[in-house]
A = this chain, B = another copy of it.
């Protein structure tokens, strides 16, 4: 490896940061997790990276591009999570596990999930986001078709996504607890919802 070909990180005192893009993303991720996408500001992440307020514009055309990059990383994480799912004994169990995995992701990184699937970003403007979400959908479609639904199981696949997505949203939404007498058991809700879906799919 040629170490001189990629500049190492410089400590304070040097004019060029060297790994600014990474530093910006790290700061942005922190702000996102802490206060939602509104809390991610160009000037603030520059401050956290100990860099001038306009430096981020050497790496991102504008704030939206930065957020899109954050979301794209989130999609990669989600895809990796699906890829790392243990081999399931039956297609049914696999679908349940995917749903649980999706909702777990949303619960662990709620603000990132909101950024990825919310209305903040116009995904049509960011091809990387399209590709990433396409991958996830293809994965889901394969699982649904393994259940015995004849390909292309378009509507059924979308219904499955809608189901998991809706459950994730309800689980995240604190509003829910206010509606219920007892606190919500998220795992049980995911499980039950997935089974309703599976039974509904089978008895056609």
Q: How large is the interface on A (under 10, 10 to 19, 20 to 34, 35 or more residues)?
A: 35 or more
A179 in contact with B119 (CB, 8 Å): no
User: Do A119 and B36 contact each other (CB < 8 Å), given the known contacts A130-B178, A155-B188?
Assistant: yes
| Residues of A109-147 whose CB lies within 8 A of B | 114, 117-119, 123-124, 129-130, 133-134, 137
Give Cα A204 to B197, complex, Å: 11
Complexed CA–CA distance, A203 and B198 (Å): 10
Known: A154-B180, A192-B159. A175 touches B118 (CB 8 A): no
In the complex, A86 Cα to B197 Cα: how many Å?
27
Q: Is A78 an interface residue (CB 8 A)?
A: no
Report the bound CA distance from A196 to B201 in whole Å. Answer: 6
**Interface residues in A153-177 (C-beta closer than 8 Å to B):** 154-156, 158-159, 161-167, 169-170, 173-176
Q: Given A114-B119, A155-B189, A192-B155, are A134 and B167 also a contact pair (CB < 8 Å)? A: no
Q: Which of B166, B174, B181, B197 contacts A165 (CB 8 A)?
A: B166
Q: Is the CB of A200 within 8 A of B189?
A: no
Question: A193: CB under 8 A from chain B?
Answer: yes
Is B189 within 8 A of A158, CB to CB?
yes
Is B192 touching A156 in the complex (CB atoms < 8 A)? yes
Q: Are A159's CB and B189's CB within 8 A? A: yes
